Amino acid sequence: MKQLLLEIGTEEIPASFLKPAALDLERRVRAALAESDIPAGVSELFSTPRRLALRLSDVADGRPAQVVELQGPPRKAAFDAQGNPTRTAVGFSAAHGKTPADLYFKQTPRGEYVFLKKQTDPLPTTKVLQERLPGIITALPFPKNMRWDASGLRFARPIRWLVCLFGPDAVEFTLGELKSGADSRGLRNSKPPHFRVPSPAEYETELKAHGVIASHDARRKTIAAELLRLAGTVSGQPVEDDELLDETTDITESPELLLCSFNPDYLSLPGEVLVTALKKHQRCFSVRGDCPQTGTAPEAESPLLPRFVAVTNTPGCDHAVVTGWYEKAAESRLRDARFFVESDLKHGLEALVDEEKQVTWIEGMGTYFDKTQRLRELCRHLTAQTPNTDAIALDRAALLCKADLLTNMVREKEFTSLQGRIGGIYARTMGEPPSVADAIAEHYLPRFIGDKLPATRNGALLSIADKLDNIVATFLSGEIPTGSEDPFALRRQSTGLLTIVLKQNLPIDIGELVASALRLFPAAKDEYACQIPGLFHERLNALLAEQGIRYDIAAAVMETSWQQPAQALVRASALAAFRDDPEFLRLVVGQKRVANILKGQTAGGLSSHGDCPQNLLLTEPTEQQLWNEARQVEPDLDRSLAAHDYQRAFKLLLGLRPTIDKFFEDVLVMAKEEEVRSNRLRLLAYVRSLFSKVADLSKIVIEGE
């Protein structure tokens, strides 16, 4: 067993490309080895702006010679009635260096087939690597590729060198105009420019000796530790930002951090603006002061300091000179930010609402002013559905929430990432109540899967209204998600909307909400009244799975009550508590039997909710007992459902199980007399309608079915 090392050396690859490419490289190399029956052990990934690398441990030297059995054509196609080989048999055997005499017969599930045994040659790992690695490298997916030499080779950035070692030996292959070997490179402009990697095990050590920290995690820890140290020298702490920490890790090979400063006058800027200016344009970390009491105060209690930390990729640089460059660049950005803020505050947000009439939102879907009016209407609908909501503050937030798109701060494309948040900052600065400012600041949340959710009720409702309006308008414009295509991220937005509903346990009916949104568009088509809820149905099913709800329990609840997502989750959780109870499973068996009997039955005007049976036609004692018990249960069941007490609701239904079982033992449902048969079907339909108020238990999967 040996170690395998593959390094792809390039010009600087964008930070966002690195992790997906490294993971795909590992997957493809492992798959190539596995397809050749060559085992491999633990893998390690390395990435810097100028290299992608994979190291695999315990890779076998190759696949030994072995005897394999190959299946051929059916016997009747390979041999005629007299047992003579046909051209099919001759061709199959000749293709593998054999004759028809080497064929034998075996029975398979599909009939009798001919087989032969063949000994394969040994397959060295080196040969597999030489044949497969060029294709693996060129197949790595990137958002954008470049072509830079006469061979037509395409990659994210030009490839400058290739290292491939199997144990201490170099594996040679050709890729475009390059040949692989054992020579790697250190930092750009380092001396000497090339150096030999003795073995895969010495890869990190050898790169470190030439100034490169190959491991992403090691560089990240180095940056984080130095951030804390430098901030501590001015009695501060870095503003936590995992996204920026990952980005600076991926744009450096040998990070060196510099403590810089800016004019304290800029501390009058809103904190988020200042932090964003340094992050987005300079990739620098802002610094907050330590709390005098504990030294670890929450950010809200720690003021920003006129300091920031820059992360460079130039070890040994002149700190004074480079620090000066960063400080001059920061001065320019902060000066622009202050100009934007001061200009915006002179005009205010409300004055910009009327200007929204001049800005088209989605072609054919009106202007941003039209969208604002729809948001206000949707918020009124949501206010009526959700108690304890400040309707006046929510309407004010809906009126102002899109105005910041016309501010200098966002419109000039300098700080687009602050949309929503800068609106909240401006609203608070200009005297709007916190309930209004917070809702404006939160209404884009969550912006991506795993993002934080709105913390306030008004922020949650405004976010729901905004996402729903986006979804409906996009559907109406014809941009409906299909398969993997979802250019306007409607699935993500619907998931975000549902996550808010579940998290805040909001009593929102998706069907009513979608219908209300569609009514606000004059050109809305009836077909979308089904298609749009279908998108939410799909996403809610996925969210229930993420909550740990079994697929069959989710199906049982989704069948009857999915349009109130918060209640669907509560019902599913209650149902899960009964899932493994033997009594409950017997009840499920009974409901499956009821569902099968009622499938396709329309006798006597039978409806999906069940028509009440006629008492005079209930001739058997057990069917009379079932009818009486079901009627007695229904009022209590309705009260339990109204109180959202699904545990009690399931217990009430569980109480009917003995009588339901006895009904099937004593009563012939499909009686010869049509009146009796129809009456018994109506009784079963009525009983089923009680269960359907909670869930469709026939969807529950019982082991062994």
User: Is the pLDDT reported for residue 292 higher than 60?
Assistant: no
* Confidence class for position 606, pLDDT limits 50, 70, 90: very low
Per residue in 505-514, pLDDT (tens digit) is 999 999 999 9
| Token pair belonging to 165 | 């070692």
What is the four-CA torsion angle of 149, 155, 157, 163, rounded to 10 degrees?
Answer: -90
Q: Are strands 284-289 and 159-166 parallel, antiparallel or unpaired?
A: unpaired
| Closest among 570, 525, 519 to 549, alpha carbons compared | 570
Query: How does 236-258 read in b/e, with b if 16+ C-beta sit within 10 Å?
Result: bbbbeeeebbbbbbbbbbbbbbb
Give me the DSSP letters along 339-372. Answer: HHHHHHHHH-SHHHHGGGGGSBSSTTS-BHHHHH
CA dist 513 and 519 (Å) reads 10
Give the model's confidence band at 704: pLDDT under 50 very low, under 70 low, under 90 confident, else very high: low
Looking at residue 415, what is its pLDDT?
Answer: 84
Strand duo 2-10 + 159-166: pairing: antiparallel
State the DSSP string of 13-64: PPHHHHHHHHHHHHHHHHHHHHHTT-----EEEEEETTEEEEEEEEE-SEEP
Report CA dihedral (559, 562, 568, 569) to the nearest 10 degrees: 100
Q: Residue 295: pLDDT above 70? A: no
* pLDDT at residue 457, rounded to an integer: 95
The CA–CA distances, whole Å, from 223 to 212, 237, 319, 442 equal: 14, 14, 17, 31
The pLDDT score that the predictor gives to residue 601 is 66
Output the average pLDDT for the chain. 90
DSSP state at residue 444: T
d(CA 130, CA 125): 9
**Contact call for residues 610 and 603 (beta carbons, < 8 A):** no
Contacts with 446 (C-beta within 8 Å, 6 or more apart), sequence order: 452, 453, 496, 499, 500
Strand order in the sheet with 169-170: 43-48, 51-59, 2-10, 159-166, 169-170
Confidence of residue 703 (pLDDT cuts 50, 70, 90): low
Please state, in angstroms and as integers, the Cα–Cα distance from residue 91 to each residue in 87, 95, 103, 108, 324, following that order: 6, 6, 12, 21, 78
User: Model-level pTM?
Assistant: 0.77
Note whether 173 and 181 are within 8 A (CB).
Answer: no
Per the DSSP assignment, residues forming a β-bridge with 164 are 6
Beta-strand pair 104-108/194-196: unpaired
The pLDDT of 60-87, averaged and rounded, is 92
pLDDT, tens only, 34-50: 999 999 999 999 999 99
What is d(CA 90, CA 78) in angstroms, rounded to the nearest whole number? 8
Question: In which element (H, E) is residue 138 found?
Answer: helix 125-139
- Chain centroid to CA 507: 25
Q: Is the pLDDT of residue 341 over 60?
A: yes
Question: Which tokens in the block code for residue 551?
Answer: 């697929």
- Number of Cβ within 10 Å of residue 330's Cβ equals 23
Q: Are 47 and 156 in contact (CB under 8 A)?
A: no
Lowest mean pLDDT across 107-116, 480-489, 650-659: 480-489
**Contact criterion met (CB below 8 Å) for 293 and 263:** no
Q: How far apart are CA 641 and CA 527, in angstroms?
A: 32
Q: How far is CA 642 from CA 511, 645, 646, in A?
A: 19, 8, 9
Is a pLDDT exceeding 70 seen at residue 201?
yes
Residue ranges and CATH numbers for the domains of the chain are 2-62+124-209 (3.30.70), 66-120 (no CATH), 216-347 (no CATH), 352-546 (1.10.3210), 572-699 (1.10.730.10)
Mean pLDDT of 245-270: 96
pLDDT in tens, 344-398: 999 899 999 999 999 999 888 899 999 999 999 999 999 998 988 999 999 999 9
Range scoring the smallest mean pLDDT among 94-103, 286-295, 314-323, 563-572:
286-295
pLDDT(178) > 90: yes
The answer, yes or no, to whether residue 224 has pLDDT greater than 70, is: yes
pLDDT recorded at residue 592? 81
Q: Per-residue pLDDT tens for 528-543? A: 778 899 999 999 999 9
Q: How many CA atoms lie within 13 A of 296 on its CB side?
A: 1
Kindly state the tokens that stand for 31: 């798959």
Q: Determine how many CB atoms are found less than 10 A away from the CB of residue 519.
A: 12
**97 φ/ψ sector (left φ>0, alpha ψ -120 to 50, else beta):** left
CA distance 413 to 543: 35
* Contact between 200 and 165 (Cβ < 8 Å): yes
Q: Is the dihedral of CA 189, 190, 195, 197 positive or negative?
A: negative
Cα within 13 Å of Cα(129), Cβ side? 23
Give the CA count within 13 Å in the CB-facing half-sphere of 358.
7
pLDDT score of 610: 44
Round to whole Å and give the CA distance between 569 and 237: 41
Predicted local distance difference test score (pLDDT) of residue 298:
41
The amino acid present at 508, given as its one-letter code, is I
Q: At what angle do helices 391-400 and 457-476 cross, to 10 degrees?
A: 50
3-state SS, 219-282, equals: HHHHHHHHHHHHHHCCCEEECCCHHHHHHHHHCCCCCEEEEEECCHHHHHCCHHHHHHHHHHHH
The structure tokens listed for 293 are 């009491």
Nearest by Cα to 118 from 104, 129, 132: 104
DSSP 605-669: G--TT-PPPPGGG--SHHHHHHHHHHHHHHHHHHHHHHTT-HHHHHHHHHTTHHHHHHHHHH--S
Q: 375 and 466 in contact (C-beta within 8 Å)?
A: yes
Measure the CA–CA gap between 404 and 371, rounded to whole angstroms. 14
Burial of 293 (C-beta count, 10 Å sphere; 0-12/13-18/19+): exposed
Q: Tell whether the model's pLDDT for residue 546 goes beyond 60.
A: yes
Q: What distance, in Å, lies between the first and last C-alpha atoms of the chain? A: 46
Q: Which residue's structure tokens are 């996403």? A: 539
The identity of residue 386, as a single letter, is T
Structure tokens at 447: 């912006």
Instruction: Evaluate if residue 690 carries a pLDDT over 80.
Output: yes
Residue 26 has which token pair?
A: 């590992």
Tokens linked to 492: 């993500």
DSSP 8-state assignment for residue 290 = P
* 252's tokens: 């450096």
